[in-house]
Chains A and B, each alone.
Chain A
Amino acid sequence: MIRWFCPEVLLVLTGVTLILADALIPPGKKEWLPRLSILLGIALFIFTIWQSGQPMPEVWANLFVTDGLSLVFKPFFVLCLVGVTLISVRYPMGREEVVRTEFLALPFFSTAGLCLLASARDFLAIFVALELVAISLYLLAAFHRSRAASLEAGMKLLVMGGLSTGFLVMGIAWLYATAGSTEFSRIILEQAGRPASPALLFAVGLILTGLAFKIAAVPFHAWAPDVYEGAPTPITAFLAIASKAAGFVLLLRIFCLGAFALDSVGWVFRPILLTMGIATVTLGTLAALPQRNLKRYLAYSGIAHAGYMLLALGTWGESGMGTVAGYLWAYLLATFPVFIFVQELERVHGNADMRHLDGLAQRDPGPALGLTLCFLSMAGLPPLLGFSAKLSVFTALWSAGEIPGLVVGVIMAVVGLGFYLVPIRAMYWEREPDVVPAQRFPSFLVWILLLAGAAQLILGFQPRPLVRLVEKSLAPMVSGNLQGK
């Protein structure tokens, strides 16, 4: 019975509670609901860490597994949820203020799907969980419906998400026709030791295409900048971090641990992953250079990061896998604070244009310093956290002998330094604009950004906690797990 109290079930129950409370409590008496959702989010985060080693309910034993990867990434997703809830509360909704509670409740459902994804061991489970994530996100992206950009973002996400799901389902169907099962362990048993049939390779290709949309890898990246720009900023953060991480967790689970961890598949798909990685890093880095909107800029930066992780994934080994897991945490820690800042920037100035950064260091030295550290960490400058992440990508590529990927990766890391310096230059070397905004940044922002900057520095010098997390994520089944098969 106690097994039913797993994060997924509680996340759904929390979402349901919030929605029911919103419907049943008369208007005007609901001011405490946002605070309640924050509290519940934090409680869920603590709960997830506390019991993440516990196996899932018995009925689900064929569909879900509890292992290192799910142990490390369920807290990751719930942490994203807490962050998103914290900034959603402050998101200026305008005329949509009446539906604020729904705006806060939907991410809970989406996160439940993400947590299910982290432990899925069957393609059907993956499909259902992915839809749970995606449908909530379509709604959330279009939530600010009095803004045309938000509607456009929702529409684009819906169309592209539907397309990618179509690829995925088609791949699963072909896989079922070839291997006779959708369960990872059965597929491995069925396919091990024999050459991959063209039908199997076609299925893997379709599934990879479906997931490449989710992580915004070139050539399936085109939706990302528009959607990120138009969606409400908390949702942009959720899309850019949690949704992207989910894509990578799935890729890890499918290509490194489960279904397709086969030499016959790797022989064909390693070069494809590496080529996609090279293309993604190059396009993400070069296209970020001319961006003048911070949200679009972060979208291209996210594409470049996805490219580095794809390169690590393309090494098809355990070190590459650990690298992706660590990189995702580093990406979360460096990117989320910037999104918090972007939202405050939008509150003060009305949009996320980069010219609002001009002269920020003179007005608000604290946020400017924190932001600089985050941007430099994203660029991969030593001794910050992002440097360790990029270094481990390059080490994995070097030890796997993937020289072209390594060369392009290093070159783009250097070019990337150039585009991460653009906002820093604006903050420190541009003259302050004459028109000073009436509103100022709230004081908590200073502390959050300084804390985030300090985290980049401390974890950069002492990455041991992160290394331990990565080691944990590579652990096979957690003991006490009702595995059966």
Chain B
Amino acid sequence: MIREFVPVLFSLGMALAIALGGIGLGIVIGKVGRRNRGKDMAYECGKDPIGSPSARFSVKFYLVAMIFILFDIEVIFMYPWAVSLMGFKQSGMGWQVFGLMLAFVLLVEVGHLYAYQKGVFDWNKRG
């Protein structure tokens, strides 16, 4: 029973080793660079990690996040499809099922093209 959890313990140890090792190595062999308040913040992306929770930021963050999720889900769908494709091929429906996925990818590509044409990826465009 307990033995089954050894891999879990092992991956926990790996995670700790990588995290602590990264920080430790950085301290030991890293070059001390110029520091300022901005560089010491948790995220270096220009967002203040501490502040009012109702702060407003550009709608573009949401748009990009949503489009990211769209393509994410496309890939998730591809896994079961790839696994079961061979089974469909044996029952003679291989091309049909392949065509279905092609149609799905094309549909998502339409969304991508649409977003591109509407300037969602143009970070400098206002509005």
Binding site for B on A (CB under 8 A): 12, 16, 19-20, 23-24, 58-59
Q: Are B114 and A59 in contact (CB under 8 A)?
A: no
Expressed in whole angstroms, the Cα–Cα distance for A367 and B30 within the complex equals 82
Tell me, rounded to whole Å, the shortest Cβ–Cβ distance linking B126 to chain A. 15
Among B96, B113, B114, B117, the residue within 8 A (CB) of A58 is: B96
Contact A19 B96 (CB under 8 A): no
Q: Within residues 80 to 127 of chain B, which ones have a CB less than 8 A from any CB in chain A? A: 93, 96-97, 100, 107, 110, 113-114, 117-118
For the complex, what is the distance from the CA of A12 to the CA of B104, rounded to whole Å?
A: 12
Which residues of chain A are within 8 angstroms of B117 by Cβ–Cβ distance? 23-24
Q: Closest CB of chain B to A173's CB: distance in Å?
A: 19
Contact residues in A for B118 (Cβ distance below 8 Å): 23
Which chain A residue lies CB-closest to B115? A23
Q: Is the interface of B mostly helix, strand, loop or mixed?
A: helix
Residues of A within 8 A of B107 (CB): 12, 16
Does the CB pair A59–B97 fall under 8 Å?
Answer: yes
- Do residues A23 and B113 form an inter-chain contact, with CB atoms below 8 A? yes
Q: Which of A16, A58, A59 touches B110 (beta carbons < 8 Å)?
A: A16
Question: Once the chains are docked, how many angstroms separate the CA of A58 from the CA of B97?
Answer: 11
Set of chain B residues within 8 Å of A58, measured between Cβ atoms: 93, 96
Residues of B within 8 Å of A23, CB to CB, are 113-114, 117-118
Once the chains are docked, how many angstroms separate the CA of A58 from the CA of B96? 9
What is the number of residues of chain B that contact chain A, defined by CB distance less than 8 Å? 10
A-B contact count (CB 8 A): 19
A333 to B25 alpha-carbon distance, docked (Å): 75
How far is A23 from B100 in the complex, measured between Cα atoms in Å? 25
Which residue of chain B has its CB nearest to the CB of A16?
B110
A381 to B84, CA, bound (A): 58
Please, what's the 1-or-0 string for B30-74, where 1 marks a CB less than 8 Å from any CB in chain A?
A: 000000000000000000000000000000000000000000000
Q: A24-B117, A59-B100 are in contact. Are A19 and B110 (CB under 8 A)?
A: yes
Q: Bound complex: CA of A16 vs CA of B100, how far in Å?
A: 16
CA distance A19 to B113 in the complex (A): 10
* CB-based nearest B residue for A99: B118
Are B110 and A20 in touch, CB under 8 angstroms?
yes
Chain B residues lying within 8 Å of A59, measured Cβ to Cβ, are: 93, 96-97, 100
CA distance A465 to B114 in the complex (A): 44
A24 to B114, CA, bound (A): 8
Residue in A closest to B106 when the chains form the complex, CB atoms = A16
Distance of A59 Cα from B97 Cα, bound (Å): 8
Best-buried of A12, A20, A23, A24 by chain B (most CB within 10 Å): A23
19 contacts between A and B (CB under 8 A): A12-B107, A16-B107, A16-B110, A19-B110, A19-B114, A20-B110, A20-B113, A20-B114, A23-B113, A23-B114, A23-B117, A23-B118, A24-B117, A58-B93, A58-B96, A59-B93, A59-B96, A59-B97, A59-B100
**In the complex, what residues of B have CB within 8 A of residue A12's CB?**
107
Q: Complex formed: what's the CA distance from A20 to B107 in Å?
A: 11
Further pairs besides A16-B110, A58-B96, A59-B100: 10, Cβ < 8 Å: A12-B107, A16-B107, A19-B110, A19-B114, A20-B113, A23-B113, A23-B117, A23-B118, A59-B93, A59-B97
